[in-house]
Amino acid sequence: MNRKNPPYLDFIHRELQLPQNQDNQLLVIDLFAGCGGFALGFEAAGFRTIGYEMEGDACATYRRNLRTDCHEMVLTPDTEFPENPVVIIGGPPCQPFSVSGHQRGLKDSRDGFPIFINAVKRYRPQIAIFENVRGMLFRNKTYFEEIAIALQTLDYFVEWDILTATDYGVPQRRQRLFCIAHQGGWKWPKKAYKSHPYTAGEALSELAFRASETAKFLTPSMDEYVKKYEKASKCVKPRDLHLDVPARTVTCRNLSAPTGDMLRIRLPDGRRRRLTVREGARLQSFPDWFEFQGTEKSQCQQIGNAVPPILAKALAMRVKECLEKRESASSENHPQPEQPIQLSFNFMKEFL
């Protein structure tokens, strides 16, 4: 047990409590909202969110747990929103990720980024944030450059970074790209847990060695398949869940599907079982009061696709500080803080 940290379940319960007073909360529009992981972090930081999501189960989860609505709908570049948001957030799906798929860039109708960029263009929020897989900076750097330039032409400063979830209190080695379009004064959240991250054991706690009547155990044939999988992939360490370190990245596939890469726990008697929905949710930093809707498979997909709420709150607190700093400077008629220099994309190509 890491004694530098408060108990994990107490930590996420405290950090993700929703404020009682909802008056004068700034509005955040949450596009491609999923089950509300991104929104939960922002609401815990004192914002009001409205979600937009096409999957019905995810919308139902969002509505059940957050103090706002989630509109079940397919977004288009022409979608209009009822109120002007101060912040826009989202995880746009990106179809042109493969070489074969990257044909029309921002003109690809299957892609969510034109929708996100058009919403920023129409409503001019003070800050816009999108999240995506880290590979976007490497396999699709040309397309990422296209997106960043589009945001820059709307008079935003654009910054990005790959954030590791363990650095912010999530017991999982998840890495994701976050890109921020802002008007000055942005600072990335501090890596408060970099040297002493929470572990999978701290997250699962009493659940780790339980085996309910509905537990899904690996069969002998599945054990043999996993053995061959690990040998073929040259795993130095078995890919069971090791409770003394943070977990591997939780994905839809390794949480819900019986694959060689599935997340599983080895019990003291040698049997191995797959993780439950609640265990996957804890590894993603959802508190136990957060209830998922839909089938087990749907719930696993919602969890795997979510932004970890604790990481989302770390970003939301920086958004809040940035907005307050600019509001204070404006109300006191002081000059705005010195603006960051926009990086040229020649530099960006060297960085990538």
**What does the pLDDT look like over 287-338, one tens digit per residue?**
999 999 999 999 999 999 999 999 999 999 999 999 998 887 776 665 554 4
Q: Would you call 94 a catalytic residue per the annotation? A: yes
How many CB atoms within 10 Å of residue 82? 9
Instruction: Output the pLDDT for position 31.
Output: 98
Instruction: Output the pLDDT for position 335.
Output: 53
Q: Which amino acid is at 267?
A: L
Instruction: Output the pLDDT for position 345.
Output: 45
Mean pLDDT of 346-351: 39
pLDDT at 350 over 50: no
Q: Which amino acid is at 3?
A: R
Mean pLDDT of 238-244: 89
Catalytic residue chosen out of the listed positions 35, 59, 70, 94: 94
> What mean pLDDT is reported for the chain?
88
**In degrees to the nearest 10, what's the CA dihedral of 249, 132, 343, 138?**
70
**What does the pLDDT look like over 150-188, one tens digit per residue?**
999 999 999 999 999 999 999 999 999 999 999 999 999
Angstrom distance (rounded) from CA 40 to CA 112 = 22
Mean pLDDT of 48-63: 97
pLDDT at 2 over 70: no
Burial class (CB in 10 A: 0-12, 13-18, 19+), 350: exposed
Angstrom distance (rounded) from CA 205 to CA 238 = 21
Instruction: Output the pLDDT for position 188.
Output: 98
Largest alpha-carbon pair distance within the chain? 71
Q: Answer whether 27's CB lies under 8 Å from 47's CB.
A: yes
Residue 306 structure tokens:
């979510």
Mean pLDDT of 222-230: 83
Residue 294 structure tokens:
């839909």
pLDDT at 61 over 50: yes
**What does the pLDDT look like over 133-142, one tens digit per residue?**
998 888 888 8
**What does the pLDDT look like over 94-121, one tens digit per residue?**
655 444 444 455 555 558 999 999 999 9
Domain range summary for the chain, segments of one domain joined by +: 8-196+304-351, 200-294
Instruction: Output the pLDDT for position 346.
Output: 40
The domain 8-196+304-351 having CATH identifier 3.40.50.150: the answer here is: yes
Q: Answer whether 159's CB lies under 8 Å from 151's CB.
A: no
Instruction: Output the pLDDT for position 332.
Output: 67
Task: Kindly indicate the confidence band of residue 258, based on its pLDDT and cuts at 50, 70 and 90.
Answer: confident
Instruction: Output the pLDDT for position 256.
Output: 85
Instruction: Output the pLDDT for position 342.
Output: 47
**What does the pLDDT look like over 185-201, one tens digit per residue?**
999 999 999 999 999 99
Which position has the token pair 């363990």?
A: 166
Mean pLDDT of 41-62: 97
- The closest of 154, 155, 188 to 321, measured between CA atoms, is 188
- The closest of 320, 255, 313, 302 to 64, measured between CA atoms, is 302
Instruction: Output the pLDDT for position 115.
Output: 95
Angstrom distance (rounded) from CA 205 to CA 214 = 19
Q: Answer whether 32's CB lies under 8 Å from 65's CB.
A: no
Angstrom distance (rounded) from CA 278 to CA 210 = 12
Top-confidence residue, 62 or 22: 62
